A = this chain, B = another copy of it.
């Protein structure tokens, strides 16, 4: 295993600490709880997200003005405990309520749910939205219902912008859910990832083989097939998305996301094909993000996310944000 790490058991805490050390004026790291939070608590609804590590910059990289107030990390590909989530809630609670943005994985649903119940019992108002943007499969290895993947970044942006405006919890939740309702994603993997604690790839793909619809933990997709061109990749992934949700005639935000081991050059090329195909389909692109936003350790591959926009979502998407991984 070739990784720039120390002890495999320490990768999560060391990565969070290392992130925090790059932004000492903006971020705070709470060791043990494995929470990255904004240094200043706002007099506002706090938006908190989190989940397993290994998807960097998700989630901690999106902590900052206009996006998340805190991110809680579990171990690699493993949900954070209710205790850790509770620590984040307690730390960022300003009395205006908490919105939890949870990706739809059974462990996360259970642990964020327990933490929410415990906070409720302490008199903290907590609401939750669940991101399930991956159209690949109806149920998956670790989820009942669709998986939450890169579309989560848009949910962080929309919820964070609404909270930053000083909106009440009910409004922040409504906006986040409105974003979720309009977001769909689908991905493709070209090589497996290696968990630091395991030391070898979790599965294998042939020399010329890729998997369409694979999850960000290596969960099965819809098809193993031969390597596709960028054009074919864009069309296959977008066809799945468009078959699920009719974006025709609407304006969308696009996220062309890399899975960690795929260089930016390839994502730029993929973006060319995504933009071309959306134009062909009569879908107008309002804003595009291209980069590694939601990864799966060193997995190579990509995902494409669309969010249908109305005036409210456009305004919230355009609102300034200042986080390590996204600044607008």
Which stretch, A39-47, A168-176, A238-246, A256-264, touches the partner chain B? A256-264
Give the contacting residue for A15; candidates B2, B191, B269; CB below 8 A. Answer: B269
Q: Which residues of B are found within 8 Å of A229, using beta-carbon distances?
A: 5-6
Task: Mark out the residues of chain A between 188 and 221 whose CB falls within 8 Å of any chain B CB in the assembled complex.
Answer: 190-191, 208, 210
B6 in contact with A290 (CB, 8 Å)? no
Is A81's CB within 8 Å of the partner chain B? Answer: no
Is A69's CB within 8 Å of the partner chain B? Answer: no
Is A129's CB within 8 Å of the partner chain B? Answer: no
Give the contacting residue for A14; candidates B5, B18, B272; CB below 8 A. Answer: B272
Q: Which residues of B are found within 8 Å of A328, using beta-carbon distances?
A: 327
- Bound: A62/B53 CA distance, A: 29
Is A297's CB within 8 Å of the partner chain B? Answer: yes
- Bound: A243/B261 CA distance, A: 32
Number of copies of this chain that the complex holds = 2
A261 in contact with B264 (CB, 8 Å)? no
User: Are A21 and B298 CB-contacts (below 8 A) given A4-B269, A268-B56?
Assistant: no
Chain A contacts to B: CB under 8 angstroms: 1-6, 11, 14-19, 21-23, 53-54, 56-57, 61, 190-191, 208, 210, 227, 229-231, 233, 256, 260-273, 275, 288-290, 292, 295, 297-298, 300, 302, 324, 327-328
